[in-house]
Chains A and B, each alone.
Chain A
Amino acid sequence: MNVKTWFADIEINEDGSVADCRPCSQDVQQLAERLLVFQADPKQIPPARFDPVQNAIECGFAAGETEYYSLLQQTCIAATRLKIKNSYSPDLRIIHAVEALDDIDEAANLLAERLGIWYGEHFPEAGMLTENLAKFVAENGLRQDLQQDSQFHEAARSSVGMEMDAEDGAIIKAFAADLTSLYERRHVIEAYIHKNMKQLAPNLDEVAGANLGARLISMAGGLQSLSRMPSSTIQVMGANQALFKHLRGKASSPKHGIIFNHPLIKNSHPKIRGKMARALASSLSIASRVDAFSGQLNPTIKEKLDRKVRSIKGGSK
């Protein structure tokens, strides 16, 4: 019988004694690779009760037990490292990006609110919010710094807001600039998600759109696990409290979780939303499976959904 241990190829006689043994060299990296090849496809397994330690010493692979275990540990650590390194799936980049986006949103909302209150004290007539306000303040600074031709020039002159001096202006302008760059970072990450979704999950991208598709992958913990979910789960994913932050305050009912953000549902009459949600979820489930297993764009998934949508709309008249 021919068997493979991590350190040698061994020929064993009927009675269990060793007929021949070809030990490997003590190169840990090579041993680790050999170990992984065996692990992926175990063949020529040593019989139960085979004692590798004694065998390794007799066959000259190791001088004694101490050396055996030291080499074994080094080899197993090296193999484990290699395996860990190769275990990251490419959709992790999408998951991290989506989570970064959420963190940015949280931070940006907080800072935007602060800027609104702060700058509003000085120039309540400006009447802008969030990104527009941040850009405006970062570019223009205080009321008195506005150019003659600014559309806000008049409002600024007659403002009832609190006076601020150059020092106040420098602080608030820098604060607004930070917020602006946060919004810019958000746009860059969003573009990155769009680009990666097209490559990694083209079908999900087509059916759900990049944002929703990426969010589904992130919530499921990966494309593989999303593809294994029944469509009824996809339909309500994100409807519970814990995942609520993803919805960013947008309304939702347990009939549809995060997929409510899809225009097919959001823009439909409430009466047919349930049916739409079911059709969409089933299409998303198919799309994710195709993405997980082939990764090729299959236009018929979207076409089928469109047909279903038409029939739902037709039936509701």
Chain B
Amino acid sequence: MKVKTFHEYIFTLQQGKKRFLATRNLSPGSQVYGERLVQVEQAEYRIWEPKRSKLAAMLLKKLPSPFTTTSKVLYLGSATGTTVSHVSDIVHQGVVYAVEFSPRTMRDMLPICEERPNIIPLLADASKPQSYANVVEPVDVIFQDVAQPDQASIALSNVQHFLKPGGYLLMSIKARSVDSTAKPDTVFKQQLITLLEQDNSKLELVKKQKLAPFHIDHLGVVVKKTE
């Protein structure tokens, strides 16, 4: 397979006509969730399926990536760590604060943290950023995938607490979690209003993009904190 750089430390592997998104395995030899491992020359890559990860879908749908190898990232709604593990590969010299409020789910993520020195697990509620404010440092990127009715305001309160000026918020909005009866477009619009039209929130929409066909009725959003 042929390796190309997609952006910074995110790669694509080309096999014939097929192209896969991939990250370089920070913990060579070990799989996190059954993903394919591919050895190319001296490095091992983990195939990153857009159907299994909102972030991978966002990247393939051409939303800009803010990640560098040294980024500090606050990840809200880490679940069992599928996407977190790829972020951990990308920011291999940085750090990922992974917030998840379900103990069962977090139980499955702990082994991944133990293998990867840059994941800091936080079993906490993302709607209460004060509760981890004595741990988390100012970050370059906030990624949020909590699938909750009040996801825009959860994002906002974390942005206020932790996002550096010039930093980015990436967010996946799941229409059905916000309102299962309203039209997705209506939900997206209303969530964006909550997010962007606050007085002095200093947030600016960079790009939004629906995540179909990878995730139906999801909107990917990239927002920049201007100062």
List residues of chain A with CB under 8 Å of any chain B CB.
3-6, 35, 38-40, 42, 45-46, 48-53, 69-70, 72-73, 76-77, 79-81, 83-84, 87
Contacts and interface: CB of A to CB of B under 8 A. Distances in A.
Contacts of B118: 69
Contacts of B134: 3-6, 35, 38, 42, 45-46, 52
Q: Is the interface of A mostly helix, strand, loop or mixed?
A: helix
B120 interface: yes
Interface stretch (B25-33, B125-133, B202-210, B211-219): B125-133
A238 B45 CA distance: 47
Contacts of A51: 137-138
A52 B161 CA distance: 14
Interface of B: 95, 103, 106-107, 110, 113-114, 117-124, 128, 130-135, 137-138, 160-162, 164
B130 A77 contact: no
Contacts of A80: 106, 110, 121-123
B123 A83 contact: yes
Given A42-B133, A45-B130, A73 B138 contact: no
B130 A87 contact: no
Contact of B110 (A48, A52, A53, A81): A81
Contacts of B120: 69, 72-73, 76
Given A42-B131, A51-B138, 11 more contacts: A35-B134, A38-B131, A46-B133, A48-B162, A51-B137, A69-B120, A76-B135, A77-B121, A80-B123, A81-B110, A83-B103
A71 B161 CA distance: 23
Contacts of B160: 48
Given A48-B161, A77-B113, A84 B103 contact: yes
14 contacts: A5-B135, A6-B135, A35-B134, A35-B135, A42-B131, A49-B138, A49-B164, A52-B137, A70-B117, A72-B135, A73-B119, A73-B120, A76-B121, A79-B123
